[in-house]
C-alpha cells in the first residue's frame, strides 16, 4: 500500500528559529500533498494544499509567509515554520494521494511533533 | 455505547460491546466521507469510506451510515476490542477539490 514518510518525527527548536519538515511519498508519486496541524486533544486542521511545481493553496487564516511550503518533486513536499514561537508548538501531519487507489488513496504520515522553547 | 461527537468527545465501552460514534458534517455539498482512526502520536489511518449516493457501507466489523438529510455520519464498531481504543474522526470532501476537512473527533476507550 501507499506509504508516506515524515521527517523528523519530533523536533525542539528555539523561539525565533525556523524548522523544516519533510513529507515523502515512498512508493508512489503525488502531485498533491496536504499539510495539517493538530493541537492536543483537538482535530486536524487543514493548513494548505501543496501542489507540485506550483504555489501552495493556503486555507483561510493560515499565514503563507510563516508556513512556507515547497513541493519541488513528485515525491517530496516540505513545510518550513519560519520564526517559530511557542504558540506554533503542535503536531504537524502531512498526507498525500496515491491516484492509483482512486478516492481511497489518501495516506497520512506519522506526524512531526514540534516544540518551540 | 453511543456518542455525539460534538457534545460528548469521549466514549467508553466494555470489550465485546458494540460502539457507535457519531459525526455531524458541515457542508451539504460534500460528496465523499472517510472515517479515520488515530492512535496517540500517530497519523490517521483509513477505516472506511462512503459516497453521498449511498446511505450505508459495511466493512470488517465496521459499518458507516450516512444521513444526508441531517448531515450526519455514524461509525458502528461491532464487538469492540481493546485495540480499537483510539480517537476517531470523520472527514468530508467538500466537492471543491481534493481536500478533506476533519470533524471534532471522539476518543474511544475500550474497557477490558
CB contact B98 to A (< 8 Å): yes
First-to-last C-alpha distance (Å) of chain B: 14
- Mean pLDDT over each residue of chain B, to the nearest integer: 90
CA torsion angle A20 A24 A29 A33 (round to 10)? -50
Chain-chain contact of B43 with A110 (C-beta, under 8 angstroms)? yes
Residue range B58-99, pLDDT digits in tens = 999 999 999 999 999 999 999 999 999 999 999 998 866 788
Cα dihedral B51→B12→B83→B78 (10° resolution): -50
Residue ranges of chain A with pLDDT lower than 70? Answer: 103-104
Q: Please tell me if residue B99 touches chain A, with a CB cutoff of 8 Å.
A: yes
As a whole number of angstroms, the distance between CA B33 and CA B2 comes to: 20
**Each residue of B18-43: pLDDT tens digit?**
999 999 998 888 999 999 999 999 99
CB–CB contacts below 8 A, A to B: 51
Which CB contacts under 8 angstroms, 24+ apart, belong to A65-69? A67/A35, A69/A35
Tell me which chain A residues have a C-beta less than 8 angstroms from the C-beta of B32.
103
Nearest residue on chain A to B93, judged by CA atoms? Answer: A103
A54-69 burial, b at 16+ Cβ within 10 Å, e below that, comes to: eebbbeeebeeeebbb
pLDDT above 80: residue B7: no
Please give the pLDDT value at position A103: 64
Chain B residue with the nearest C-alpha to that of A31: B98
Amino acid at each position: 500500500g501507499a506509504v508516506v514518510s515524515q521527517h523528523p518525527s519530533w523536533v525542539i527548536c528555539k523561539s525565533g528559529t525556523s524548522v523544516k519538515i519533510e513529507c515523502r511519498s515512498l512508493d508512489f508519486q503525488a502531485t498533491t500533498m496536504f499539510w495539517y496541524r493538530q493541537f492536543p486533544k483537538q482535530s486536524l486542521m487543514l493548513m494548505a494544499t501543496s501542489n507540485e511545481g506550483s504555489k501552495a493553496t493556503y486555507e483561510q487564516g493560515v499565514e503563507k509567509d510563516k508556513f512556507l511550503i515547497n513541493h519541488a518533486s513528485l515525491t517530496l513536499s516540505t513545510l518550513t515554520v519560519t520564526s517559530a514561537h511557542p504558540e506554533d508548538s503542535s503536531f504537524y501531519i502531512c498526507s498525500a494521494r496515491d491516484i492509483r487507489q482512486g478516492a481511497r488513496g489518501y495516506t497520512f504520515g506519522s506526524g512531526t511533533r514540534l516544540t518551540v522553547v | 455505547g453511543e456518542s455525539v461527537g460534538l457534545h460528548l468527545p469521549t466514549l467508553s465501552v466494555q470489550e465485546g460491546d458494540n460502539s457507535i460514534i457519531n459525526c455531524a458534517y458541515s457542508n451539504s455539498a460534500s460528496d465523499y466521507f472517510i472515517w479515520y482512526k488515530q492512535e496517540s502520536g500517530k497519523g490517521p489511518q483509513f477505516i472506511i469510506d462512503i459516497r453521498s449516493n449511498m446511505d450505508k457501507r459495511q466493512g470488517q466489523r465496521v459499518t458507516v451510515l450516512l444521513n444526508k438529510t441531517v448531515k450526519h455520519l455514524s461509525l458502528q464498531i461491532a464487538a469492540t476490542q481493546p485495540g480499537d481504543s483510539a480517537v476517531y474522526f470523520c472527514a468530508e470532501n467538500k466537492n471543491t477539490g481534493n481536500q478533506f476537512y476533519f470533524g471534532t473527533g471522539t476518543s474511544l476507550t475500550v474497557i477490558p
